[in-house]
């Protein structure tokens, strides 16, 4: 049996939105965001509609409410080149949603965002797990403890040792998400000491044997393929438009700033082109010179 990928957003959401798997969700949030709450975890957007499965650019995220925090978790396969701005925008929306109309600002809950990415966002950073907070490193003061954006770059953790998986739950979860075959999932299950990661392997095995889930995953993969194609097409169109605008701007600048030089170069190229054509017609050099010297604005040297 071919295993489903836990990086596929519909599979991820199906796994972690199940109330029976709250222990797995707690473990994931503790590993990457440092959240360790023992109270109730309320998920508010667990339903996956057929429209979401088929629609390009659909966002299958998890919204979690705890006593102290509002949390958003998203897994993203495609790099749309503006992901940093996008995750800040969604974090801001999450934070403002915690303040009810007419309430004081201090009533806002902490807004925490976890972004699991299947692409590299920060080329200059070797660590695969980054956390961003409101903090001034120069003065060593914190503006607020109500903001945190966590980024997990899964491609940076393609290789790891058994010891790392055994001793670091962050790496154990990354190894789980990066696993592709039964053998790789079995290795994670055998090596990790985390019962929650071990349970995740069991859950992915069960989901992979569910024909309904497999069909939903197939539809979602098709929508993501169409999304990737649309992004590539938009980029190519943008590049070609940029090239055309650049050529037009360059020509305009050439006319404005280097008209004399450009005209001289143009005349030279014209002479060369006309002379070549006349030679191909069988004219000798003397006749070609005469023809060119009689042409308006062109002087054969």
- Burial (Cβ within 10 Å: 0-12, 13-18, ≥19) of residue 165: buried
- Digitized pLDDT (tens) for each residue of the chain, 301 residues in all: 889 999 998 899 999 999 999 999 999 999 999 988 888 999 887 666 555 545 544 456 899 999 989 999 999 988 877 889 989 999 999 999 988 887 888 888 999 999 999 999 999 899 999 999 999 999 999 999 999 999 999 999 988 999 999 999 999 999 999 999 999 999 999 999 999 999 999 999 999 999 998 888 888 778 777 766 665 655 566 556 666 666 666 666 655 555 555 555 555 655 676 566 555 544 556 545 654 554 444 444 4
CA distance 192 to 34: 19
- 230 lies in a domain? yes
pTM attached to this predicted model:
0.71
pLDDT at 59: 56
- 257 lies in a domain? no
Q: Do 150 and 294 fall into the same domain? A: no
Q: Domain boundary residue among 179, 212, 234?
A: 234
Q: Do 66 and 191 fall into the same domain? A: yes
- 247 lies in a domain? no
Q: Do 194 and 285 fall into the same domain? A: no
pLDDT at 240: 66
Q: Do 102 and 206 fall into the same domain? A: yes
Tokens of 161: 């040792």
- 70 lies in a domain? yes
Q: Domain boundary residue among 215, 234, 253?
A: 234
CA distance 260 to 275: 22
- 250 lies in a domain? no
Q: Which residue has the tokens 């390009």?
A: 56
Tokens of 144: 């607020």
Positive or negative, the CA dihedral 131, 136, 142, 147 is: negative
- 260 lies in a domain? no
Q: Do 80 and 185 fall into the same domain? A: yes
Positive or negative, the CA dihedral 113, 117, 120, 121 is: negative
Is 76 in a helix, a strand, or coil? strand
Q: Do 103 and 35 fall into the same domain? A: yes
Q: Do 284 and 198 fall into the same domain? A: no
Is 278 in a helix, a strand, or coil? helix
The total of other beta-carbon atoms located within 10 Å of residue 150's CB is 23
pLDDT at 121: 93
Split into its structural domains, the chain has a count of: 2
Q: Do 94 and 143 fall into the same domain? A: yes
Question: What residues make up the domain containing 293?
Answer: 270-301
Q: Which residue has the tokens 């001034």?
A: 136
pLDDT at 44: 84
Q: Domain boundary residue among 210, 234, 258?
A: 234
> Buried b / exposed e across 234-270, counting CB within 10 Å, b at 16+?
eeeeeeeeeeeeeeeeeeeeeeeeeeeeeeeeeeeee
- 265 lies in a domain? no
Q: Do 190 and 45 fall into the same domain? A: yes
């Amino acid at each position: 049996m071919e295993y489903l990928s836990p990086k596929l957003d519909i599979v991820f959401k199906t796994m972690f939105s199940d109330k029976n798997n709250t222990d797995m969700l707690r473990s994931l949030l503790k590993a990457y965001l440092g959240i360790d709450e023992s109270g109730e975890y309320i998920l508010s957007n667990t339903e996956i509609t057929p429209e979401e499965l088929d629609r390009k650019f659909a966002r299958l995220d998890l919204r979690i409410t705890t006593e102290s925090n509002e949390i958003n978790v998203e897994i993203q396969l495609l790099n749309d080149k503006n992901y940093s701005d996008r995750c800040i925008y969604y974090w801001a929306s999450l934070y403002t949603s915690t303040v009810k109309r007419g309430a004081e600002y201090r009533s806002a809950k902490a807004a925490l965002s976890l972004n699991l990415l299947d692409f590299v966002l920060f080329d200059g950073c070797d660590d695969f797990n980054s956390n961003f907070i409101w903090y001034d490193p120069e003065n060593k003061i914190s503006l607020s403890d109500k903001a945190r954006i966590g980024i997990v770059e899964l491609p940076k953790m393609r290789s790891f040792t058994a010891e790392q998986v055994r001793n670091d739950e962050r790496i154990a979860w990354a190894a789980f998400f990066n696993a592709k075959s039964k053998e790789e999932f079995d290795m994670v299950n055998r090596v990790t000491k985390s019962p929650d990661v071990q349970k995740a392997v069991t859950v992915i095995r069960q989901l992979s044997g569910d024909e309904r889930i497999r069909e939903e995953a197939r539809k979602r993969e098709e929508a993501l393929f169409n999304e990737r194609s649309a992004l590539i097409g938009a980029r190519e169109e943008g590049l070609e438009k940029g090239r055309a605008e650049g050529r037009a701007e360059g020509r305009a600048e050439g006319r404005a700033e280097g008209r004399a030089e450009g005209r001289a170069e143009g005349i030279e190229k014209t002479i060369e082109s006309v002379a070549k054509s006349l030679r191909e017609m069988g004219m000798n050099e003397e006749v070609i010179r005469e023809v060119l010297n009689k042409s308006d604005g062109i002087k054969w040297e």
